[in-house]
Chain A
Amino acid sequence: MNFDFSDDQKLLKEQVRKFLADKCPTKVVRRVLDGNETHADEVWKGLVELGVPATTIPEAYGGLGLSPLELCVIAEEVGRAAAPVPFDSSVVLATEALKLAGTEAQKVKWLPLLASGEATGTVAVAEGPEPPRPRNTRTTFGGGRLNGKKVPVIDGEAASFAIVLANTGGQGERAVSLVLVDLEQAGVSRRRVETVDPARKHAELVFNDAAAELLGAEGEGWRTLERLYDTAAVYLAFAQVGGAEAAMWMARDYALQRQAFGRQIGSYQAIKHKLADCYVKLELARSNAYYGAMMLTDDGADLPLAAAAARIAATDAYDFAAKENIQTHGGIGFTWEADTQFHYRRSRVLALGLGGPMAWKDKLVTRLEQKNVT
């Protein structure tokens, strides 16, 4: 039984944690939230120097060729800092999509640029206010040309390329394919969209006969996306665990410091038990995330179930910690000035990006039924 990260991985985690504590304190999150920047570029450059985007990219493509476990510990720290950097979009989604379905040429072209931080990528699936499905994907791809609109696209403004879910004309789930599109071309226009978390900028992308190419086989888009989302769910679960833990300790620190009715508010059970529940949810999430991490290595036979469980537990833990952190702070917690808002906002971005908890619960039970049959 070896159900823990190695000493080297813990050391890496500590290193990223120190870096982010130093270079990405909450005032940096606030600066991006309040300002015009697409992301905190100095933090991103620092993470690039630490090798973060190169972590799981094979050495043959200019990466470090480390295991998924290294990226899990990094994700936890990025989540803890609520860092405004293209981690989930580029380091997780775009990178994993290329590794999963890219042709040799596509990998040779993009992975080294991702590893070195010269390029970032993103994944564009949603088309407005409806959970994305093959049948409501109206963006089309044919004859090497992409047409349609994707919104919201995380980091869509700054990304060099996007992996887009597009209709290619098949039946049912096979109606859609993944398409790789260079965003720096005339056929692409981008516009920032306002979201509940301005510290993570999102965009609307409009494709007008944009030159693009298939990523993976035609008609395989939905299946590939599901695999991609399983992998991403595990990494994001670690980010959620980090965020939940940060929110929990923020609430705890305030509960020690704030007095009401002649005592620390942290001595009232309504507060103590609430924070104990944060801890319970956090540990359930952490344990499920560990198993997800384990399933990212080896052949990961149990990844679909492990990823769903990790995602459900981590979403629950982060949602709960983020909202109860504000509640523990009282009035000050509801101000623009307070740091409590960062986790509240981020917890929703992370909860919805790959599909929300209702959808994942349904998916989990479907997978459990399939497993019990076999």
Chain B
Amino acid sequence: MDFNDTPEEAAFRKEVRAWLEANATRKSDDKQSFRARNDDPNLLEKAKAWQAKKAAAGYARITWPKEYGGRGGTPILQVIYQQEESSYLVPLGFFDIGLGMCIPTMMAYATPEQLTRYVKPALYGEEVWCQLFSEPAAGSDVAGIRTRAERDGNDWVINGQKVWTSGAHYSDYGIIITRTDPSVPKHQGLTMFFLSMKTPGVEVRPIKQMSGGANFNEVFFTNVRIPDSQRLGKVGEGWKAALTTLMNERLAVGLPSGGLDVDELMELARDTELEDGPAIRNQQVRGKLAEWYVQQQGLRFTRYRTLTALSKGQTPGPESSIIKIVAASKMQDMGALAMELMGPAGIMKEEVPNAAGFQAQWIAAAGFRIAGGTDEILRNIVAERVLGLPQDVRVDKDVPFNKLK
């Protein structure tokens, strides 16, 4: 057992380091810049510029085949890049959905001509993609969506509403799951498409989030007409295509990176005086710190187990299914404790610079526990797929969608 790089990996790491050193700024230790950094109005433009640079250097999607602008590299190289990049201040996050979910779905279903047209601009950050799945009446139960797509000659006409669509307001394209046949049970009547967010009849309205920002949106579709050539997969097989997307979501080996974690909380605990001395000497605080450290390390090494399997060309076990379940609650609970250390002032958004980052994480974690599969749905998935327990009772499973109450 070892974490050693192979000679090839070591060479790659060296190359990445040199490139980052030449092209990016090292993370400052200044915690106060946290809020300023995240509220920067030009973040998207900066992120696009960084993405273009990264893509030109061949680091944007290391595991993708060369023909699509990737490097044809192993998942390990991808992780090495991320490890190295995490020491630098670079704007991230805008392209994860597109490159992590939408484009892989395109790769599974789109024509070679379409791939030639769409993959490279996505990779270079020139075109941003979003995922139009959730609706007001269907989130966890995404197969229950109601947005209709009806055939009209060689076109399809889409009517309905999506919601919680991250990044729709700055996205150029999206993949959308629609209902094409309401007369069959819910999973059977779905079809997937991709479309330009500028297609007439598409209206995006940002939703203000609990965090104060507005990164997700409602998207309305009114007689939106798109050609049949934008269909992904067969008519009525949209569920299969959606599973391709969701599988890619779960395959993403990355953890939310760059966040405040145990080291930062320890620092805070060292610098904070409680009535009986520094917080770090308090047994309850120590107990919590130990538990989170164990979780942090557990997740890190779980990822290493998955990577080891990938690097040996084996199918990884289901162990990575625990990652978001653990990471989201840990982030929430650590945030809450960090705030508690400040006493009553822990709720203040001014004068507690040390806790600001933890406050932001405490807020964000509430969404993290929901986005991309709620805690409850993820536990169901572990129980059913890993432990082989029965599915929940599903009263709607075999009923035609239009006969459901």
Contacts and interface: CB of A to CB of B under 8 A. Distances in A.
Interface of A: 1-5, 69, 248, 252, 255-256, 263-264, 266-267, 269, 271-273, 275-277, 279-280, 283-288, 290-291, 293-294, 297-298, 308-309, 312-313, 316, 358, 360-362, 364-365, 368-369, 372
Contacts of B312: 4
A275 B389 contact: yes
B395 to A, nearest CB: 13
Contacts of B389: 252, 255-256, 266-267, 271-272, 275
A267 B380 CA distance: 10
B73 to A, nearest CB: 14
A313 B296 CA distance: 11
Nearest to A69: B1
A5 to B, nearest CB: 8
A354 to B, nearest CB: 16
Contacts of A293: 1
Contacts of A297: 1
Contacts of A69: 1
A308 B290 CA distance: 9
B379 to A, nearest CB: 4
Quick one: which of B1, B266, B326 has the most chain A CB within 10 A? B1
B54 interface: no
Contact of B290 (A4, A287, A290, A361): A361
A248 B376 CA distance: 19
Contacts of B391: 267
A312 B382 CA distance: 23
B300 to A, nearest CB: 8
Given A273-B379, A290-B305, A364 B290 contact: yes
B263 interface: yes
A293 B304 CA distance: 14
B298 A287 contact: yes
Contacts of A368: 262, 266, 289, 293
A277 B390 CA distance: 16
B280 interface: yes
Contact of B308 (A1, A263, A276, A288): A1
A130 to B, nearest CB: 18
B77 to A, nearest CB: 11
Interface of B: 1-5, 9, 76, 262-263, 266, 280, 283, 286-287, 289-291, 293-295, 297-302, 304-305, 307-309, 311-312, 319, 322, 325-326, 376, 378-380, 382-384, 386-393
Contact of A252 (B5, B319, B387): B387
Q: Secondary structure at chain A's binding surface: helix, strand, loop or mixed?
A: helix
B387 A3 contact: no
B294 A266 contact: no
Contact of A361 (B291, B299, B380): B291
A280 B382 contact: yes
Contact of B298 (A263, A279, A283, A372): A283
A284 B309 CA distance: 17
A58 B14 CA distance: 39
Nearest to A287: B301
The 9 closest A-B pairs by CB, nearest first: A284-B298, A361-B290, A272-B383, A287-B301, A276-B379, A276-B382, A267-B390, A3-B304, A294-B1
Contacts of A256: 388-390
A4 B307 CA distance: 10
B383 A273 contact: yes
Given A1-B5, A277-B379, 20 more contacts: A2-B1, A2-B2, A3-B1, A248-B387, A256-B388, A256-B389, A276-B325, A276-B378, A279-B387, A280-B325, A284-B295, A287-B299, A287-B301, A288-B298, A291-B297, A297-B1, A309-B294, A309-B297, A368-B293, A372-B266
B290 A275 contact: no
A278 B193 CA distance: 39
A3 B291 contact: no
A209 to B, nearest CB: 41
A273 B305 CA distance: 24
Contacts of A365: 266, 280, 286, 289-290, 293
A264 B304 CA distance: 36
B294 A284 contact: yes
A288 B294 contact: yes
A269 B287 contact: no
Given A267-B393, A287-B305, A362 B1 contact: no
A368 B286 CA distance: 11
A5 B314 CA distance: 14
11 contacts: A3-B308, A4-B1, A248-B387, A267-B391, A273-B383, A276-B383, A279-B322, A290-B305, A293-B1, A312-B291, A361-B290
Contacts of A369: 266, 280
Q: Which of B311, B376, B379 has the most CB of A within 10 A?
A: B379
B264 to A, nearest CB: 11
